[in-house]
Structure formats: C-alpha cells, structure tokens
Amino acid sequence: MGHPVRNTRADAYENTPRDVIATGNDYPSHYVLPAHSHRRGQLLYASTGVLTTITSEGSWVVPPRRALWIPAGVSHEVHMGGPVATRSAYVKAETALAVGLPTRCQVIAVSPLLHELLQEAIDLPAEYDLDGRDGRVMALLLDEIRRMPALPLSAPLPREKRLVTLCRELLQQPSQEVKIDDMAQRAGMSRRHFTRSFREETGMSFSAWRQQACLLAALTRLGNGESITQVAVDLGYGNPSAFTAAFRRVLGAPPSRYLAAPTP
C-alpha cells in the first residue's frame, strides 16, 4: 500500500498509478518556491495563511480556505505571505480534461466538505485502494473541486516587455496613487498608447488593474494580522472606509468577513 503522501515533494509521486494524489506541506513566513511545473494539474489549497502564485499570465492571491487550480505544465512560483500550511491535490492532465477542470489558472472557493476531503486525502496511502473507501474519497474530492465557484483574485500580466516589468514592480508595491501618466512615461509610451496597449494586453483598464493589485496585496497583509487602517493608508486610499468600500465592491464582503475562515 505504501506510505501516505504527506510533507514530501509531489514529483516523487508523479508516476503513481492513480488519477489523483494529495500532499500536505508547511512553509515558514516569506518562503518562496521558485518557478516550477508539474505533469499533473495542481489544486493548491491554503489551509492556513495567504500565498501568492505568479505565472507568465498573471498573479493570483490565495487567502485562507481558498485554493488555486494550476493546469498541468504551467510554470509557477509561489510566495508565502506568512506561515502557510498547504494541502495539494494533483490530478492527471487527461483526468482533469475529462472531468472539465479549468484550462487556465483559477482561484476557487473551498467548501467545508472540500476542506475535509483534502485533510483526509493527504493521509491516504500513495497507492490507495481504488475500489474501497479511499478511492471513493478521492473520487468525491474530484467532484467537489469541479463544482466550486471561481473567485476574482487575480491580476493578469501583460506580455509586452515594458508593461510586464512595470506591472511586476507595481505588484510588489501597489498604490492607488500611481498615476497613468507616470506609468506611460516610464514605459516610453504616450498616455493613449499606454492605455490602449494595457487594455489589449490584460483585458482591464489600468485603473481597474491598479485597484485589483492593491486588493490582492491587502489580502496578504490583512491575512498576516495588519490593521485595516494601516493597510488602507499604505495602499493610497483616502481613509479606511474608502478602502473597505472598494474591497466590498470587488470581493463581495468587507475585509474582516472575507478573511474569516468558514466553520466546517
């Protein structure tokens, strides 16, 4: 039967003859997993803590009790905002395609049931019994991943070299006070060229993207216990109520409620 797939490198189990395998890992604050990819699709779940994943297409923030689906073969780096406990399910590429999992990175909600299934899955043997309870747990895990709703927790990255460099810098230190004219000048573009190119490359206006970058940064900082007031000031909002209103408008709930883990 083998040993449970826990606190170990997933690539050691890439060839395990099972459609779905699971691992669990704990990481210290600010730990970075450098760019890498898997032959399987990965559901990366933040059981506790906040993590950020960056690919060539964008940046995704995963607050506690949410998860990121990463398709097979997508190169990604992972940054831990603080101490983070992860639970990951790895799904064979052909299985992910067959059951209709996303073909691009996507943050999803995690139901109390999916949380418990992931907790259970990491303690199963690597070559679990397909026809017994363990096999049914993993089949239900796959079903539950598929039915989870998508969440707006990403900032797409442009491909144009000047724009992607500026965007990655802004993701590191986002602020509502960053002006379009300044960004255009730094990119060596006219304002009109910059705004048109930015929308063509990202599908968003620069002001909408800037706000998204600020809210993603806020999630990481609030998840580490920083105050709403301090975060609002640092991100260039006039006052905490303006920040809270923007947060609620985009994410559907005020920060305190959004970051409160659902009770399983």
Domain CATH number, residue 180: 1.10.10.60
Determine the structural domain holding residue 177 and report its residue range.
157-259
Q: Give the integer Cα–Cα distance in Å for 159 and 155.
A: 13
Confidence of residue 3 (pLDDT cuts 50, 70, 90): very low
Q: Are 128 and 71 contained in the same domain?
A: yes
Q: What is the pLDDT of residues 50-95, one digit of tens each?
A: 999 999 999 999 998 899 999 999 999 999 988 999 999 999 999 9
Task: Judge residue 218's burial from the number of C-beta atoms within 10 Å of its C-beta, 0-12 exposed, 13-18 middle, 19 or more buried.
Answer: buried
**Residue 64: per-residue pLDDT:** 86
Confidence of residue 1 (pLDDT cuts 50, 70, 90): very low
Q: Give the integer Cα–Cα distance in Å for 148 and 39.
A: 23
CB 218 within 8 A of CB 173: no
For the segment 228-245, the average pLDDT, to the nearest whole number, is 94
What is the layout of strands, in order, in the sheet containing 76-80? 32-36, 76-80, 51-54, 58-62, 154-156
Q: Are 142 and 188 contained in the same domain?
A: no
Contacts of 132 (CB under 8 A, 6+ apart): none
Q: Are 182 and 247 contained in the same domain?
A: yes
Q: Are 16 and 139 contained in the same domain?
A: yes
Q: What is the mean pLDDT of the chain?
A: 92
How many other C-beta atoms are found inside a 10 Å radius of the C-beta of residue 54? 18
Confidence of residue 10 (pLDDT cuts 50, 70, 90): low
Q: Are 202 and 236 contained in the same domain?
A: yes
